[in-house]
Every structure is written in structure tokens, then in C-alpha cells.
Chains A and B, each alone.
Chain A
Amino acid sequence: MGFYLSFGTVLLLLAITAPTALAFGFGGAAAARSGFLPLRWFGKTYIAVVRGVPDIAFFLFFVIALDQGFEYVRHQIYCPDWDQPIRQGSDFVVCKAAKLPLSSSPQWVHEVYGFFTAVLTFAIVFGAFAANVLYGAMRAVPHGQVETAQAYGMTNRQTFWRITVPQMWVYALPGLSNLWMVLIKATPLLFLLGVEDIVYWARELGGSKTPRYTAYPHGDWRLWYFLGLLVFYLAFTKISEFFLSKLMKRLTHGQATLGGTS
């Protein structure tokens, strides 16, 4: 049962992460082209650092770092009169009220919290990729459009929201659809973040079973489970490809680009 549910976990992760990452990306891209210098630096550093380092390192890093960050903030709020240091040797000690999730909370809260940090991690990493795509797309909007808007007396903010943002999506779509493919292929990494996803179940269920422990004894089936996962991902990629090409056709219809001239 858990095995079938875990496919749902993967789909749910994709459904939540994609819009969140897009929002992060939009923020990053807007920051990277902001007129305010520190904000621009922040946006550009965010994009450059996340893209230069292996993603899996980020996944492993953020899961602990986010957890500790949340607990640290809660520690400051809930236990202001705590006088011991938080890092004691190789332990990270916060007061009981600041623990996340609370040690008294039921199992499903722990699972939801684990899933939540995983989503946030994915969103941060893929947000940087999306930011890069959107940054390029914003610059691809024909300059004449922006100049016309300024000639009409629009402020920078109005130009951005009324001219640049509505038009950039066509230019962003090829990059974003590529990103979606990459995101699909990154979901098995959930396993490393401690979420019980399909990779976890494939290992569990496929492992050797003996009559002593289970009613369904069998040999090592992990090979077949992973073959199944491979087929699942191949099919998923193919289906996405089909729908994205349809979407592209729709969006470019009537646009003054090579794809839309017909």
C-alpha cells in the first residue's frame, strides 16, 4: 500500500514544487535586474551559487540547515532565558518547546514536516534555475515595447508589470519545459531527504524475503522494481513532452516569432 501511495507522494511533490520554484525564480529574476544594488547582488549570487554546485549537495545541506534554522529561530522566541550554548560539541541542543516537530506530536506530523522541508529544498534549488530562465526571458522581450511604454509615461514598475511580465512567458517556455523535465528526473533524490518515496519502497519491498518474516517469500526482486520505476519515469517524460509541445504551439500562436508566424 505504501508503495502505491509513494507514487502519489512524488506527484504531490511535483505539483507543489513547480509553482513554488516558479515563484522563487520570479523573485530571483526580479531581484537580479533590480535597480537597488544589494538586491541585484543577492539575486545574481543566488543564481550563480546554486547553479555551480552539484544539486545533491544542496539537497543534503538544506534539509539539515533549514531544520536547524527553524529550530534556532523558535528557540530564540520561545526560550529567551536559555543560557547554554546551542552547539555543544557535536550536538545541536535547543529547548524542548522549540523542537520541530514537537516530540509529543503524532507520526503524521513528522512525515508532513519532512515532506515540507523537502519541498522547500527543491523550491530553493529549482528556483535558482527558474530565475536564470526568467531572467533571460525578461531580457528577450523586444526593447521597442519597453521604450514605447516609457514614451507613454509609464513608470518602471508599471512597465515591468504591464509590458515585460505578460510577454516574457513565450520566451521562457522552452527553458521552463526543460526545467520541468529535469525536475521530474530529480524526484528520486527525495529518497536521500528521508521521505518514504518510491525508491525507498522499491528497496524495501524488493529485498530478499524469507518465509520466516513474511507470507510472500521471494528472492531479490529489487532489479524488477527498479526496472518498473525506470519505465514509469520514461513514460512520464514522454507524456510531459507531448503536452508541453502542445502548450508551446498554443502560446506562440499569433506571436511575432519564428514559431508563430504561420
Chain B
Amino acid sequence: MNECLTTIGDYGLRAVGIGERLLPKTDFTLCQHFTLIGSGMIWNIYFGAIALVIGFVLANAIALAKASRYPFLSIPANWFILLFRGSPLFIQFFLAYFLFLNLKQSFPMFSWFTSAWAGALVVLFLNTAAYSAEIFYGALQSVPRGEVEAADAYGMSGWKRFIRVIWPTSMRLAWPAYTNEAIFLFHATTLVFFSGFPAWQQRGDALYYANYFADKTFNPFIPYPILAGYFILLTLIIVGIFGLINRRLNRHLPQSARIKRPRMPLIR
């Protein structure tokens, strides 16, 4: 038990570079598995949470641009969405990594983006923005006409009508699908360290460490189920948080309309 506490002290924050430098090489204990893979989850949560929050803002902007009647706004928005939804995330990671490598030679300021913490975050951010924009666009299109007419009748127009009536309703409609997208995104963060972006000083994400253990012990039956357990836990937490937000969004509606179960995600 005490031994395990030391392991947690040594490796608990290994993924961000705090604690023991060398990874264990032989005689892996179950405790080391749990600690290191859990420590890697820090990266998954970092990538997922930040990309989700800033992606949300960009996604709203793009959804509005796509719904716009001016072609100079809607055409670029359509292309952006097609580019990121139509191609594999894996290829996007590779492409971005080599793009940043090339840019780095001419502009030194891009040297940040060749490391995972910034470069992969940019890709994930743009990717989730594209997927969410499609969801939000669909929701904007299905805002009930009566609500907009009611807003007109109250003398609201333009920005005021949008921010008080259209946008809140579209968020309510989009929320179950957006919950899915969030779960997707967290699952997609596992791709980062398998797609060109190097894990500097072996500071990787959860799957990176799980793969490390599986390579060293040649026994996949311990690290991967642990990883699966962590991810199921993470998924449950996301569903919980989004469910709370959903309840707040729909707090004025009758009880039965509130219960909308988000479906578990596919992959991308």
C-alpha cells in the first residue's frame, strides 16, 4: 500500500514532467499501470477541454456564417466544414505537423506548433469547431418559426432577437448532439501522440502510456482495460456535466421534455 503511494508520488504527474524522470523498465506493478495511465489522462483532458471551449465560440461563428445570405460568408464556411468533416482526423494531424515543420524553417514563431501541446490543440480546435458548426447550423435551421414571429411581434429585431430568442432555442435543440460531439472529441485526443507529434521526454497521453506498457510486457490484457475504464469514467463525467447544462437550458419547460438522453458516440 505504502509502496503504491510512493509510486503515485513519483509518477502521478509524470505526464506533465513533474516527478521521476525515468519510466519503469521491468517488473511493472498494477499500481504503476494505474498511476501512469491516469497521469496521461491529464493530457487527454487538457486537449479535450480547451479545444471544446474555444471551439464552441468558433463553431457558433461558423454556423452563423454558413446560415448567412451573403455568399462571401457562407461559401468559406461551407468549405471549412467540408475540409474538416470530410477527411480523417489522423491525416489532419499528420498534415498539420509537417506543415508546421515547414513553416518553422521560415518563421521561427511556429516552433511552438511543432510540439503537441500547441500544434495538436490547434488541429483539435479547428476539427471540433467544424463538427459543432454543422450541429449548430442544423439547430439554427430548425428553430420554430412561431418563436421568431413572436419575437417580431414584441418589436425585437436584429441582434436583440438573435441573442434573446433564436440563439437560446438553437442551443436547446443542439445540446444532445453537441454532448455526443464532446465525447467524440475526448476520444479523438488519444490520436495525438500516434500521428507525428512527438512525445517530448516521454510525456504522453493515456494511450501513449498504455501502449508503452503493452509494448514492454507484450500483454495487452492489463493496460488497455485500465485505459478503457478511465475513458468510460471520463465519458460518464462529460455526460453528467452536459446533462446539468441541459437541465439549466430547459428549466422553463415541462419536466418530460427535459429528459433527453444523449446517445453514445460513434468515432470520427
Contact for A60 among B101, B211, B231, CB less than 8 A: B211
Question: Which listed residue, A55, A187, A203, touches B187 by the CB 8 Å rule?
Answer: A55
**Which A-chain residue is minimally distant from B27 (CB atoms)?**
A89
Instruction: Give how many B residues have a beta carbon under 8 Å from the other chain's beta carbons.
Output: 42
Is B251 engaged at the interface, CB distance under 8 Å to the other chain? no
Nearest CB of chain A from residue B111's CB, rounded to whole Å = 16
Bound-complex Cα distance A178 to B265 (A): 12
The CA of A189 and the CA of B95, in the complex, are separated in Å by 15
Contact B91 A188, beta carbon cutoff 8 Å? yes
Known: A49-B228, A187-B88. A54 touches B221 (CB 8 A): no
CB distance from A226 to the nearest CB of B (A): 4
The stretch from A15-23, A99-107, A159-167, A228-236 touching chain B is A228-236
Tell me the bound Cα distance from A188 to B194 in angstroms.
11
Chain A residue with Cβ nearest B103: A223
* B268-A223 in contact (CB<8A): no
On whether the beta carbons of A186 and B86 are closer than 8 Å, the reply is no
Asked if A57 contacts B86 (CB within 8 A), the reply is no
Tell me the B90-128 residues at the A interface (CB within 8 Å): 90-92, 94-95, 98-99, 101-102
Contact with A along B64-101 (1 / 0, CB 8 A): 00000000000000000011001111111011001101
Contact status B219-A51, CB under 8 Å = no
Q: A29 to nearest B CB, angstroms?
A: 15
- Residue B257 CB within 8 A of the other chain: no
Q: Is the CB of B88 within 8 A of A54?
A: no
Task: Evaluate contact between A223 and B95: CB separation under 8 angstroms.
Answer: yes
Asked whether B90 lies within 8 Å of A199 as measured between CB atoms, the reply is yes
A87 at the interface (CB under 8 A from B): yes
Give the chain B neighbours of A188 by CB distance below 8 A: 88, 90-91
| Inter-subunit contact A182/B267 (CB<8 Å) | yes
Question: Does B148 count as interface, using CB distance less than 8 angstroms?
Answer: no
- The answer to whether the Cβ of B227 comes within 8 Å of any Cβ in the partner chain is yes
A140 within 8 A of B: no
Q: Mark A179-191, 1 if CB is under 8 A from B, else 0.
A: 1001011111101
**Across the interface, do A129 and B266 meet the contact criterion of CB distance under 8 Å?**
yes
Residues from chain B with Cβ under 8 Å of A55 in the complex: 187, 267
Assign chain A's interface to a size class: 35 or more
Name B89's contact: one of A48, A57, A185, A234 (CB within 8 Å).
A185
> Which of A87, A185, A189, A227 contacts B219 (CB under 8 A)?
A87
Residue of A nearest to B235 (CB): A52
Write the chain A residue with the least CB distance to B210: A57
User: Among the listed A48, A61, A238, which residue makes an inter-chain contact with B220, where contact means beta carbons less than 8 Å apart?
Assistant: A61
Within 8 A of A (CB), among B228-242: 228, 231-232, 235
Determine if A56 and B227 form an interchain contact, defined as CB atoms under 8 angstroms apart. Answer: no
Nearest Cβ on chain A to B32's Cβ, whole angstroms: 13
Q: Which residue from chain B places its CB closest to the CB of A227 in the assembled complex?
A: B95
Contact across chains for A51 and B264 when beta carbons are under 8 A apart:
yes
Q: Tell me, in angstroms, the Cα distance from A185 to B191 when the chains sit together.
A: 13
By the criterion CB–CB under 8 Å, are A230 and B92 in contact?
A: yes
Answer yes or no: A91 CB below 8 A from chain B CBs: yes
Question: A192–B266 contact, CB under 8 A?
Answer: no
Interface readout for A26-58 with B: 1 if CB under 8 Å, 0 if not? Answer: 000000000000000000000011011111110
Establish whether residues B91 and A229, one from each chain, have CB atoms under 8 Å apart when the complex forms: yes
Complex Cα distance A187/B88, Å? 8
For the complex with contacts A52-B231, A53-B227, A65-B221, 20 further pairs of A-B residues with Cβ separation under 8 Å are A52-B235, A53-B228, A53-B231, A57-B228, A60-B207, A60-B220, A64-B214, A64-B220, A87-B219, A90-B219, A129-B266, A182-B266, A182-B267, A186-B88, A187-B88, A220-B101, A223-B101, A230-B87, A230-B91, A237-B86
- Residues on B lying within 8 angstroms of A by beta carbon are 26, 82-83, 86-92, 94-95, 98-99, 101-102, 187-188, 190-191, 194, 207, 210-211, 214, 216-221, 224, 227-228, 231-232, 235, 264-268
Q: Which 7 A-B pairs have the closest CB atoms?
A: A54-B187, A61-B224, A223-B98, A185-B88, A226-B95, A64-B220, A53-B228
